[in-house]
Structure 1
Amino acid sequence: MTATQQLSFPRQSARTQRFTLGAPRAFTVSPDGARVVFLRSSSGTERSGLLRVLDLDGPAPRERIAADPGELLGGAGEELSAEEKARRERSREGSAGIVGYAVDRAVELAAFTLSGRLFTAELRAGTARELPAPGPVIDPRPSPDGRWVAYATGGSLRVTGAEGDGDRPLAEPEDAHVCWGQAEFVAAEEMGRSRGYWWAPESDRLLVARVDDRAVRRWWISDPAHPDREPARVAYPAAGTPNAEVRLYVVALDGGRTEVVWDRVRHPYLARVHWSADGPPLLLVQSRDQRTQAFLEVDPDTGGTRLVHLDEDPVWLELFAGVPAWAPDVTPGGRGGGRLVRIADEGGARVLAVGDRVLTGADLHVRAVLGVGADHVLVSASAGEGAAAPETGEIHVYRVGARGAERLSEGPGVHSAAGCGDVTVIASAGLEATGTSVRVLRGGRVVAEVASYAERPSITARPRLVEAGARRIPCAVLLPSDRAADDDRPLPVLMDPYGGPHGQRVLASHHAHLTSQWFADQGFAVVVADGRGTPGRSPEWEKSVRDDFGLTLDDQVEALRALAGTFPFDLDRVAVRGWSYGGYLAGMAVLRRPDVFHAAVVGAPVTDLRLYDTHWTERYLGDPAAQPEVYTANSLVGDDGLTVAGTPHRPMMVVHGLADDNVVVAHALRLSSALLSAGRPHEVLPLTGVTHMTPQEQIAENLLLLQVDFLKRSLGMDRG
């Protein structure tokens, strides 16, 4: 047993970043099927990621290191720029070293940053070196032919030769409000678009986003623990206020540029960009209310655009990873271009469409496109409403073609994949085995496995995945590990949800339930419920919360009461904890349903929805100027204080990071002020220097311990 395994679970979980350190990730398969590139740190407690290559050719697969941050930096510690810290915050990246990379078309050259410096690795030779570049460098990407590397720095987009020669700017900001080649806040935080430029397949030009944030209102994020430091000035587009202006240009390697023209008044959001050899540049642009989106072809010579497809929805249109894209047109007499690959909500199901054909039906709920081949599309999907049997918490990998969908992942669990040609890398996590196993398939046959160095948890999660109530709400129920099977004494209940959009918690994966199991082992019956609004069920399930987040609370109550008939719940002692939307839901639970919930840990909550960003908030609640009553009804606090009054008081612990630039601490402070004005005692735990993530080891550990202490005190468990 290692020293780490002898630690308490909270300390082990914090030290291993929830057991993600040492696990392989970010896989790329070379087109010739000879190499799999990925990231992995050297142990389950080492934060620094190394770039690695698995060679598949030869007598046996062989793994080697392509780039080691320790060697490249000469043992020096990393220094991150403010821009890089912001990028990592948007992507919830808490590790160090090489945290991301980009490759050329042949997957022979990789580019990445360390301490804001530019590095490349020759993946065949296994050598890495630094290229001279003005920094701090952001998001370097090789050209498809491997001759150039583009990168962003200081608001500019620059390019340098792969040998380190010919560095020059391609686009430079006109003033301090303009930035070239980087994603704006709402794109990175809410749209899942972290990039701001895209290479042409011929490597002779790029599509480059120009962001002008002068219209965006400025907020100030201060550090009260250090009054000598100036507050950070950030551009934050709160609901109903102006967004950044985003334009797109075709930029040649000589600096010449042509603006891409579309109706930016009707479709101001640039949500997706795709440029491959299978068709012209492809854009997905959205209306501000996200009820209309257009798929546009771009003529890179003129900047003109042509409508390929238009989607409309009376509620909202979801964005998906991996689409839009082009699939090669392999039909006889085809026009030589591509067929549009998209995911759509049609006929009450979430389906995959390629060209004019819908290739999946109601039995699959398609979640993302993982890769596009000549005759198939690799997708991530869960069981749809039309499936023969429910698969609670499972996510699988399918190869979809003209003849239907073939499941590639094996066994119940949560599976993801990356692939190219006949090589597919499948990462699988299940309920029985700890961690994630990674298999490499060639032609459907396993040819290699990628080892994980992640720590083995000191506890074992034992969730029971069930469906509860008339709505068949997916739930995970966890009881204390040492509880005898015939022990029917009622237990205090802890609801442990996220419970909102884009936040599925009920997963058929062991590690997804470790923290909930630890809380159960402190003497609780823990329930994780994914009610309406959470992903993975059906479009109707997700979109039913439009204008009414209260439905997410109703489903927590329904799940609790339905499960009480099967499990030993003490309904006179029910608490709830959550973070972000889960924190909002926890606060709403004790304020609006104190008849059901008796204490809450309210972590980083959105309490006044007018203070949250445009793209997320307006998707669900519309324009605050057009329907202010909807914002009032869904917020926990407003101009007049608490939105509920005259209800019994329940203990609350409000927790918030003072450096949070996503859900700013004003949310927690306004809630605390409203509670104080209403004469309601509560506890506030400010986290100095902490953002919306809590990666710091001691803070993450103590946060769990303090929550347990509060919950036991509030429910009278400390009195025996």
Structure 2
Amino acid sequence: MKILRLPLFICLFTTLILSAQTKQITLNEIWDGTFSTKRMDVLHSMKNGQQYSVLNFDRNTRSTSIDIYDYKTLKKIKTLVNSSSINELNYFTDYTFSQDESKIILATNEESIYRRSTLGNYYVFDTNDKSITLISENRIQEPTFSPDGTKVAYGFENNLYIKDLITGGTTQITFDGEKNKIINGITDWVYEEEFAFVRAFEWNADSNKIAFIRFDETDVPEFSMDIYGTGLYQTQQVFKYPKAGEKNAVVSLHIYHLDTNKTIPVDVEKAYSDFYIPRIKWTNNPDILSAQYMNRHQNELDLWLINAETNTSNLALAEKDDAYISVTDNLTFLEDNSFIWTSEKDGYNHIYHYSKDGELINQVTKGNWEVTNYYGYNEKSNRIFYQSVENGSINRDVYSIKLNGRNKTRLTKSEGTNNASFSADFSYFINTFSSATTPPEYTLNSASSGNLIKSIKDNDVLSKKLSDYKTSKKEFSTINVNGNDLNMWMIKPADFDASKQYPLLMYQYSGPGSQQVANRWNNSNDYWYQHLAQQGYIIACVDGRGTGFKGAKFKKVTQNELGKYEVEDQIEAAKQLGALPYIDASRIGIWGWSYGGFMSSNALFKGNDVFKMAIAVAPVTSWRFYDTIYTERYMTTPQENPSGYDDNSPINHVNKLKGDYLLIHGSADDNVHLQNTMRLAEALIQADKPFEWAVYPDDNHSIYGGNTRLHLYKKMTTFINSKLGDKREKSKVNEVKKAEIKG
């Protein structure tokens, strides 16, 4: 009897294991939080360097708190503030410390305006006497402490104000702000989107001056969007949006002196009249302001040092490039006012050290690889901390190096994506690590050696949960296309059989400097690809020419020809993949979002002998419709480069469409306007080309909210199944659809 029971037990155990590993990932699970990861939210290193703060949310009490933890022990020391003990607000969603950390700005009732900008109600909490002060009865923008913590500057209705926390009084410092005309201290739409900042004002170190940028939008053309809502009549959102070749806002730099209550305009001797001011920053000298000026083509970048007392300026640094220059966020002034700068001037993004007069002291990092993040400089150890792709362009590691470029140390050990958050004194860092096989884990590490001190948080529960599902490995490789070794990943069905043939779905984004082939943990799309792999698809992604982290030459080859070389690479990659014995060359599809939608459209039209279907979500269909800063950076203006704009516009290639095409857009997309899809749809109609399309009412560029994202991916999945699915697998597809509906 014992001999008979043992095999039976093994058989039952094996059956349980196999069944546990064959659960199917459903579309509902992807967007209902089933596979969400644990995170550390709004971490701030306290100035003592030994503690950090975290924003925590208590689901039971529906309250938020700022909790202080010890780096060395990772134990919670105290709760600095809890919304449950404050009568004036039920919760807060963000926080900012004053420089001495005695006061905190708490944000509540925040409402998004565009991608980065918000309106909200803000309070100042005093950690000493536990008092709370409402900064303004109005919903305001970008409240910012003065360095001495006695004042808060903010924007309201396109003007700047200062709240005195000692007297309680408020001073208005600009008066000409007007919607769609003049903005003071807050960026316009195109600066916010393309230069990636909202607050266009800065306090000096002595808290007695504020530098700010003024935007005169008067002559910028307006764009309007219908907002359908739930009322009987639609409303309109009207805003200034400069399309390629059109007028930009006229920008000017000003310095407000609190001592005299006067605003002084700043002027520098530029070699160009049409310009941008993408960054301003005070030096350690409270009278010296730095400002980056850039010509409209964005291939000249000048760093000016401006004396606020004498209103004189000095050109400290000037860079030029045949294509374009990327604005740096890494300008760091040292105690002697020498400065650290990052630049691609040697062909790769690296760190440089300049004297206060702009003389090059030395190039700190060198090599055929890119610095991808700059964390800061520690005066005590004389070391710079940075992230780079030295260990392969799909990976990220954290390093330290002496200011003179010597004694480089790799601080992270695991291959994948590492990102650091350093303590204020650079004695510790919290490393966030993930890879294609490891969900995010947070660890405390020594900043001198990189050695692990303690584990803080992991996602082992998610890993265990995923072990119950039938998933496939993301395989990384390179593919030689048009003379270049391009990074690629591929996902095959878990039960892959090389003797069979599978349909192929390709995904790409392809925009300048972007990267989709990276060794990091899943996002929602990755789970969708696993879902498709379960249905018998192979999914692949290729980063073609123009993408990032492989040097300036590789990235900038697409200059003046967006959509030419990138599309050629996707078509050729598809041909090569289609030649593999296990891929059915007659069933190859491609999809993408935004720039990726522009690409997938062109790939289907120009590669009509390769691709059977394409999905384009929120695509640019002509760069003539997109904004000045982004488009002209890569294309100059349409007046200067009409063929570059038109030769690669999907609108001008609709007559080549042979396959199946699904076009999707949100009607309230303030970024890539619905105009793009409407003009392409009209061109398809006039060319008598059949296509499918969907417009999501009042959704922006991200197309999300409520049931929207799930509906979108169900639509795309159904389209893929109907166009690429094997007819012999129809019954299987129908069963999956039934399961989705039931779920």
- Of 588, 592, 595, which aligns to 2:602? 588
2:553 pairs, out of 540, 553, 559, with 540
Instruction: Please name the residue that 2:508 is paired with.
Output: 497
- Of 117, 125, 137, the residue aligned with 2:121 is 117
* Deviation readout 1:528-569 (Å, 9 max, x if unpaired): 111111111111111011122211112223333444566732
Distance 2:383 2:249 in 1: 38
Which residue does 1:189 correspond to in 2?
A: 193
Residue of structure 2 in register with 1:684 after alignment: 693
Q: Name the SS of the counterpart of 1:171 in structure 2.
A: coil
Q: Is 2:358 the counterpart of 1:346? A: no
Task: Work out the CA distance in 2 between the residues paired with 1:450 and 1:156.
Answer: 43
Q: Which amino acid aligns with 2:603?
A: A
- Tell me the CA shift for residue 708 of structure 1: 0.9
Could you say which residue in structure 2 is the equivalent of 1:451? 457
- Residue of structure 2 in register with 1:394 after alignment: 395
Partner of 1:220: 224
* CA shift in 2, pair 1:39/1:289, >3 Å: farther
What letter matches 1:381 in structure 2?
Answer: S
Q: Which residue of 1 aligns with 2:532?
A: 519
Q: Tell me whether 1:285 sits opposite 2:288 in the alignment.
A: no
SS of residue in 1 equivalent to 2:389: strand
Bigger drift between 582-591 and 497-506 goes to 497-506
Question: Cα distance 1:366–1:493, how it changes in 2: closer, same or farther (>3 A)?
Answer: same
Cα drift, residue 103 of structure 1: 2.9
Provide Cα deviations, 1:116-167, integer angstroms capped at 9, x if missing partner: 2112345x66968452413211111112222222221111212223468222
1:238 Cα shift? 0.4
1:32 counterpart = 2:48: yes
- Could you tell me which of 172, 185, 188 is aligned with 1:169? 172
- Which aligned pairs between 1:581-660 and structure 2 lie closer than 5 A? 581-637=595-651, 642-645=652-655, 647-660=656-669
Mapping 1:24-173, distance limit 5 Å: 24-39=40-55, 41=57, 50=64, 52-56=66-70, 61-62=75-76, 65-66=79-80, 98=93, 100-115=94-109, 116-122=120-126, 129-162=132-165, 165-173=168-176
1:337-384 Cα distance to aligned partner (Å, 9 max, x none): 32222111233322111112111112431123222332222222213x
Whichever residue aligns with residue 293 of structure 1, its letter is L
Find the aligned partners of 1:550 and 1:185 in 2 and give their Cα distance: 28
Amino acid at match of 2:529: S
Unpaired runs of 5+ residues, structure 1, are 1-5, 78-96, 329-336, 384-389
Contact 1:380 1:398 (C-alpha < 8 Å) held by counterparts:
yes
Whole-Å Cα distance in 2 between the matches of residues 541 and 19 of structure 1? 35
Are the counterparts in 2 of residues 14 and 695 from structure 1 also a CA contact under 8 Å?
Answer: no
Partners of 2:657 and 2:121 in 1: how far apart?
Answer: 57
Q: Deviations over 1:273-299 (max 9, x none)?
A: 222427832211111001101011121
C-alpha change, 1:58 and 1:706, in structure 2 (3 Å) is closer
Q: Give 1:294's match in structure 2, choosing from 294, 302, 314.
A: 302
In the alignment, structure 1 residue 260 sits paired with structure 2 residue 271? no
Q: 1:125 to 1:464 in 2, by over 3 A?
A: farther
1:348–1:362 Cα contact (<8 Å) kept:
no
Aligned partners of 1:426 and 1:164: how far apart in 2? 43
Call closer, same or farther: CA 1:719–1:153 in 2, change over 3 Å. Answer: farther
| Residue pair 2:56, 2:66 contacting (<8 A) in 1 also | yes
Deviations 1:569-603 (A, max 9, x none): 21110111111001111111111111111101110
SS at match of 2:598: helix
Contact 2:513–2:549 under 8 Å retained in 1: no
Any unmatched runs of 5+ in structure 2? 1-22, 110-119, 355-359, 730-743
Contact 2:25 2:530 in 1 (8 A): no
Structure 1 residue 259: deviation in Å? 1.6
What is the aligned-residue RMSD (CA, Å)? 3.0
Structure 1 pair 559–405 and aligned structure 2 pair: CA distance change class (3 A)? farther
Q: Is the 8 A contact 2:417 2:433 kept in 1?
A: yes
Secondary structure in 2 matching 1:700: helix
On the 8 A contact 2:159/2:173 being kept in 1, the answer is: yes
Kindly indicate whether the alpha-carbon contact (under 8 Å) linking 2:560 and 2:644 is maintained by their aligned counterparts in 1: yes
Q: Choose which of 579, 599, 617 in structure 1 pairs with 2:593.
A: 579
Please report how far the alpha carbon of residue 58 of structure 1 lies from its aligned counterpart in structure 2 after TM superposition: 8.2
Mapped contact 1:23–1:40 kept (Cα < 8 A): no
Alignment correspondent of 2:323: 315
- CA spacing shift, 1:452–1:243, aligned 2, 3 Å: farther
**Structure 1 residue 437, shift from structure 2 partner:** 2.3
Q: Using the TM superposition, name which of 580-589 and 695-704 deviates more.
A: 695-704
- Which of residues 687, 710, 714 in structure 1 aligns to 2:719? 710
CA offsets 1:315-346 (integer angstroms, 9 cap, x no match): 111123x3222233xxxxxxxx3222211123
Could you tell me whether the CA contact under 8 Å between 2:278 and 2:292 is conserved in 1? yes
Moved more, 562-571 or 107-116: 562-571
State how 1:349-360 maps to structure 2 within 5 Å: 349-355=348-354, 356=360, 357-360=362-365
CA distance in 2: counterparts of 1:345 and 1:285, whole angstroms: 17
| 2:28 is aligned with 1:19 | no
Q: Following the alignment from structure 1 to structure 2, what is the Cα–Cα distance between the partners of residues 616 and 181? A: 22
* Corresponding residue to 2:492 among 470, 479, 493: 479
Q: Percent identity?
A: 20
Q: Aligned partners of 1:149, 1:354: CA distance in 2, in Å?
A: 33
The amino acid that maps onto 2:417 is: V
Give the superposition deviation at 1:215. Answer: 1.3
Identify the residue that residue 569 of structure 2 maps to in structure 1.
555
Q: Distance in 1 between matches of 2:696 and 2:715?
A: 13
> Quick one: structure 1 residues 190 and 51, their matched pair in 2 at CA, closer, same or farther if it must change by over 3 Å?
farther
Distance 2:63 2:34 in 1: 13
CA distance in 2, matches of 1:185, 1:516: 34
Deviation sequence 1:450-504 (CA, Å, 0-9, x none): 4368983755562111111141111111112x314x4431210001111112431
Moved more, 583-592 or 345-354: 345-354
TM-score by length of 1: 0.86
Q: For the residues of structure 1 that align with 2:712 and 2:243, how far apart are their CA atoms?
A: 29
Q: CA deviation at 1:515?
A: 3.3
Q: Which secondary structure state, in structure 1, belongs to the residue aligned with residue 218 of structure 2?
A: coil
In the superposition, relative to structure 1, how do residues 439 and 689 fare at CA in structure 2: closer, same or farther (>3 Å)? farther
C-alpha separation between the residues in 2 aligned to 1:15 and 1:70? 28
After the TM superposition, which of the residue ranges 515-524 and 663-672 deviates more from structure 2? 515-524
1:15-61 superposed Cα distances (whole Å, 9 cap, x missing partner): 449836x5124433233203323445558xx9x99563443278663
Alpha-carbon distance between aligned partners in 2 of 1:400 and 1:49, rounded to the nearest angstrom: 42
- Cα distance, 1:661 vs. partner? 0.3
Please report how far the alpha carbon of residue 110 of structure 1 lies from its aligned counterpart in structure 2 after TM superposition: 3.0
Structure 1 residues 591 and 283: CA distance shift in structure 2, 3 A: same
Partner deviation per Cα, 1:495-534 (whole Å, 9 max, x = no partner)? 1111112431111112243333333233211111111111
Question: What is the deviation of 1:210?
Answer: 1.4
CA distance in structure 2 between the partners assigned to 1:172 and 1:189 by the alignment: 25
Structure 2: distance between partners of 1:71 and 1:518: 45
Structure 2 length-normalised TM: 0.83
Larger Rg: 2
Report how many residues are paired: 668
Taking the aligned partners of 2:487 and 2:618, their CA distance within structure 1 comes to 25
With CA pairs under 8 Å and 6+ residues apart, which has the higher RCO, 1 or 2?
1
In structure 2, relative to structure 1, the CA distance for the partners of 1:271 and 1:450 (3 Å cut) is farther
